[in-house]
Amino acid sequence: MTLEDGVRYSVTGGVATVTFDRPDRNNSMDLAMERRYGELLRSLETDTGVRAIVLTGAGRAFCPGADLDVLAGVSPGNEVDFQVEHVQAAAFAGKPVIAAVNGGCAGLGFVIACTADVRFAAAGAKFTTAFARRGLIAEYGIAQLLPGLVGRGRAMDLLLSGRTFTAEQAHSYGLVQEVFPGDELLAAAEAYARELAAFSAPRSMAVMKRQVLDEASIPLEEAGLRAAALMNDSFTHPESKEGVVSWLERRPPQFPPYPA
């Protein structure tokens, strides 16, 4: 277990568990913590021993957002150097990222959860975009991310009101895929990640993540043509043969690692 700048991680069975752990600030993020998070995800992306990543928080919070001491220091001529590439790291990682939202998830932490590919949450966990209630705007690309997850109307509701809502409501909105008792959340997320690591081809998952990013705003016909080209390309890689042979032989697949 390695802890640096409020972020720790461990790797077991092909799954890296990344934990926000800054207890003196309830896991709120300063610039060093943001940087460490982004750099760590990029490092794990190139680690062939890691096939899936779980994000969670220590204690009662996932991440309540940016450290307010950072925001308090902002003034004209003393702007914050917003580290967008670090905050959005999960969206662009070539490996699946599962957010296990164990507690308070707000602002910047809310954006990070939305950049994950799948979200699980602890029963009763609280969510809020918070930006409007702090006199801010929709940060770090959440104005694009959130409508794609919950639809435009619900996204506008959550952004404009900045209201607090529960994990159960998040599930009904489509933001969260599963809700678990708090003491079962991390184990469930890690079990899901282990299943991806064991049965899904790393190259396939990386390509599909890129497809979802690239094809969201193009015509359906063009998306189909792109997929056809990618499908033909996939037949030239060992994963397609192994996927078929392992199924016929009724055994777990032995997919090769796929570097970023």
Q: Which CATH number characterizes residue 154's domain?
A: 3.90.226.10
Q: Is residue 225 part of a domain?
A: yes
| Phi, psi dihedral angles at 178 (to 5 degrees) | -145, 145
Residues 208 and 192 in one domain: no
Residues 126 and 206 in one domain: no
- CA–CA separation, 114 vs 232, rounded Å? 32
- Residuewise pLDDT in 10s, the chain (260 residues): 677 889 999 999 999 999 999 988 999 999 999 999 999 999 999 999 999 999 999 999 999 998 877 665 565 666 667 789 999 999 999 999 999 999 999 999 999 999 999 999 999 999 999 999 999 999 999 999 999 999 999 999 999 999 999 999 999 999 999 999 999 999 999 999 999 999 999 999 999 999 999 998 899 999 999 999 999 999 999 988 999 999 999 999 999 998 75
Q: How many other C-beta atoms can be found within 10 angstroms of the C-beta atom of residue 235?
A: 9
- CA–CA separation, 46 vs 43, rounded Å? 5
Confidence (pTM): 0.92
Residue 184: domain span: 2-197
Q: Closest Cα partner for 63 from 92, 87, 91?
A: 87
Residues 58 and 34 in one domain: yes
Residues 229 and 140 in one domain: no
- 176-214 exposure pattern, b = at least 16 Cβ within 10 A, e = fewer: bebbbeeeebbebbbebbbebbeebbbbbbbbebeeeee
Residues 112 and 209 in one domain: no
Q: Is residue 259 part of a domain?
A: no
- CA–CA separation, 99 vs 179, rounded Å? 12
Domain stop point among 159, 181, 197: 197
What angle in degrees, to the nearest 10, is found between the helix axes of 142-150 and 107-115?
Answer: 60
Residues 231 and 118 in one domain: no
- 133-171 exposure pattern, b = at least 16 Cβ within 10 A, e = fewer: eeeeebbbebeebbeebbeeebbeebbeebeebbbeebb
- CA–CA separation, 152 vs 148, rounded Å? 8
- CA–CA separation, 183 vs 149, rounded Å? 26
Spatial contact of 65 and 105, defined as CB atoms under 8 Å apart: no
Residues 221 and 178 in one domain: no
